[in-house]
Amino acid sequence: MVYLKSQEEIELIRKSCLLVSETLALVASVLKPGMTGLEIDKLAEEYIKDKGAVPAFKGYQGFPGTLCISPNECVVHGIPSKETFKDDDIISIDCGVLWNEYFGDSAFTFAMPGVSEDTMLLLNTTNESLYKGIEEAVVGNRMGDVSHAIQKHAENQGFSVVRELVGHGIGKNLHEAPEVPNYGKRGRGGKLKSGLVIAIEPMINKGVKQVKQSSDGWTIVTKDGTPSAHYEHTIAITSEKTETLSDHRIIEEALKNNPEIRNISLNNSIFALQNF
């Protein structure tokens, strides 16, 4: 059952999402080759708890980390480890918090300085796909309009869209109805109504769309071992406008001051959608 949110609930979700964004911005400010996922995870957990919130992922169905840290061919749900990040790694970092009884969720893929230009194109395209989806997430449209916009932009660049993993509703539960696929047909799916809060999260592969689960029981990897990128925003759809509750701008600002990490190239017309 889809649970539509009041404006008061949307503001509480926004607060949680902004804490998620601040946490990812903190990660962006210190991330560099030679660090480990466990180091980043500890930093994020301490920051979230210092704010009086709870890491949403830690303990969720037994997950051991505060962050999902998924390098290279890992699509999502990577477990923080002692393995050091290399100069040519890309690293998807997904973060969630529970604050004042409401969840926030967002993800960003980071690129180390030695990442190739064709892999950077994957990151840029995935990020752009996210905003293409947000642009279609307005009252009166259907979920398929959002899904199709994501799929079309990614596939036009020669990349593939993961089918088995989707975005989701969010509120008092981390995962709520409806599902938000990253592929689909225009005019299909449920109608988007005022009060709907969803997490849109394209997961786009450089190679084939097929994925598999690793032996750790959590990490999802590309079947052909090629890189995958992942970006996520939580948005609220209302009769007046659609609002992006998470904020990647502060992550981008942190990256500008961190020479150890490459910054993605943002299309300003798409980036402006964050505030429409």
- Summarize pLDDT for 206-254 with one digit per residue, the tens: 999 999 999 999 999 999 999 999 999 999 999 999 999 999 999 999 9
Instruction: Return mean pLDDT, the chain.
Output: 95
Q: What pLDDT shows up at residue 263?
A: 86
CATH number at residue 75: 3.90.230.10
Reported as a single tens digit per residue, the pLDDT across 91-131 is 999 999 999 999 999 999 999 999 999 999 999 999 999 99
In a domain, 1, yes or no: no
Whether the pLDDT of residue 153 is over 90: the answer is: yes
Whether the pLDDT of residue 90 is over 60: the answer is: yes
Comparing CA positions, the residue from 213, 238, 165 lying closest to residue 11 is 238
In a domain, 85, yes or no: yes
Average pLDDT of the segment spanning 66-71: 98
Distance CA 265, CA 142 (A): 29
Whether the pLDDT of residue 144 is over 50: the answer is: yes
How far from each other are the two terminal CA atoms of the chain, in whole angstroms? 28
Distance of CA 228 to the CA centre of its chain: 12
Q: What pLDDT shows up at residue 264?
A: 82
Q: What is the dihedral of CA 141, 92, 107, 143, to 10 degrees?
A: 10
* pTM for this model (two decimals): 0.95
In a domain, 271, yes or no: yes
Whether the pLDDT of residue 270 is over 50: the answer is: no
Whether the pLDDT of residue 265 is over 80: the answer is: no
Comparing CA positions, the residue from 36, 50, 23, 43 lying closest to residue 105 is 23
At 46, the amino acid letter reads: E
- β-strands 233-237, 196-200 pairing: antiparallel
Domain extent at residue 96: 7-275
The total domain count for the chain is: 1
Distance CA 204, CA 162 (A): 6
Q: What pLDDT shows up at residue 266?
A: 56
Average pLDDT of the segment spanning 27-54: 98
In a domain, 258, yes or no: yes
Percent pLDDT > 90 in the chain is 95
Average pLDDT of the segment spanning 39-61: 98
Percent pLDDT > 70 in the chain is 96
Whether the pLDDT of residue 268 is over 50: the answer is: no
In a domain, 187, yes or no: yes
In a domain, 101, yes or no: yes
Between 155-159, 188-192, 237-241, 260-264, the lowest mean confidence (pLDDT) is in 260-264
In a domain, 18, yes or no: yes
Reported as a single tens digit per residue, the pLDDT across 160-198 is 999 999 999 999 999 999 999 999 999 999 999 999 999
In a domain, 2, yes or no: no
Q: Provide the token pair at 167.
A: 């975005």
